[in-house]
Structure 1
């Protein structure tokens, strides 16, 4: 694994509906980055490299964003990896420390999005998701827009194959909206009944509007440090160690399985999870709290199985048993997840890291998960971007 890597500072903005707030991406970056640096007690001058993620924006927007924190001449790398952009920036920032190339790095992500469903920016060239879309259309009736179509189609396949019900998917929407009530950073903070989730606008397959993540504006930032940096600055009490991390892109099985569940990343997740569990010396039963990529409720359920929380096809039973909320075996998406916290693509992975850091520090207030803020506490992060990449990270408190 190389050198040890620690999260020493986190910060994020409140996630907002696009256009709801008068701000631009430099404002977002200044807010999240300043919060993360202040949380770490680190001056920007001590940051040696920065990795800045966004999906919708012009080249070198990363520089323009981070210049709000200072002008020190450090390498700044612009990162774009679809919905896994934020965690890809985190992965690269951690890699620099793990490889001994830096003692302190910054991962920052932001997004200023358009209202409504996501569309393409360039229509004069091959769309990166076209191969996935065509493969999905061979298996389930085609519809637009692409993202809810693909994840809705994966849900339909799960229902056909395992008998999973629309109510089981909807219960995930109920859970995540309920969790977000206690998150001041969440775009939505409203609770809904199961009937309200099921009765909201039909999108595709089992998906209704209240089971889909919205477009969002916002930013997140994380300061990472080496073990030596943590010791020199006396940060052990607040530091959270990255004890396992893996990034996996599409595998042959993505297309060879002739399964929409594979096309939306289940095998990438399964492969990355195995690697992270091996690195950290843990299994799913050791984990207390999970932030996973619930862009749609169907993907949360599919991801339960890919992470090994239950056997394949058993995700619906896990939902019915209440095992993924407070009082259950794991608390999944205590932040409200993408469905309710919001999903500014470049910031999502860093917001997940922020939530888990607060959980392991015991600083999550009304969202606090029992057992997370102990010496044996373990947190797991899962972030996926189709086309495709999965980043999974495991965290433990550095010192208690």
Structure 2
């Protein structure tokens, strides 16, 4: 009978296929499977107790919950570089013990409290808020802090008032608070705010605020321009990404002139690109900054390093090396690096002066699509990769 079953199983295989023993078959890793890089856990994982396994399950549950929330800093998760490969899945350097579990639980709690401030309120404060807002609640429910908090949250969700009857100055302040987005706005991955779709009056009033206070991403690329008659005459230029150019044309020139904060991406890669963040109303290149890679709330509130601060840091390091370093090759290397940073800043400053003479300075600046492409070319030339990103375009 066993031989018959084996023959039937071999007959169902496709021609030329080989049967692989299950113990030699490659293991398929789920996208939610966690691998631990810690060597101590690798040795200890085969002989853990039931209590330690329960702690591990709680750790993995908290870890996956933190991974799904973009507002939690990725530094808390200690992700390994192997996490970005398909073979290893999610790889972390954390040890799945009690301390790491409590650490992730605190991160989840802080994220919940930042999104819902009522979680930090005491029972007395919530009852006082319910009484001041004249929100009725039954006597048995008033003894429960959780039920009182849910009643206050429900009242916030269902609260209504006549917004357009407020003074215009007050409405503008509301637009600034409602439309300000942390981090960089990516037109191809972020949908416009729902506030812009209420009615025509609100859309006209809020558009000016939306485009003037938020930071928008613009990707640049270097291209080879070939003539339409296919001759050998070509030249190199810098253009905006087709998707970003299409977005600028879609919003119209009346909204392009309102753009102030921009993040030019000068290099494309798996890490999201290396960019320069600037404000068109501030002509000083020394105040240009490199945005942080992490998009969480905590990292976005930190002030990134500016071009001027980076030059000051390099200058201090060079002076320190002059006083203690005896290797002349290292001194020459740091001197050339500092001179290159200063030369890059001065070159970008000259281009920014020309941009201001053509499109305005300070608060009166009125950029255009052509001007943004010229500015992107300046940033690409000074802060981008030295090698070309060849894209065959045609006029």
Tell me which interval the TM-score lies in, with the shorter structure as reference length.
under 0.3
Question: Larger RCO: Structure 1 or Structure 2 (Cα < 8 Å, ≥ 6 residues apart)?
Answer: 1
Between structure 1 and structure 2, the one with the greater Rg is: 2
Q: TM-score scaled by structure 2?
A: 0.22
The structure that is strand-richer by fraction is 1
Q: Which is helix-richer, 1 or 2?
A: 2
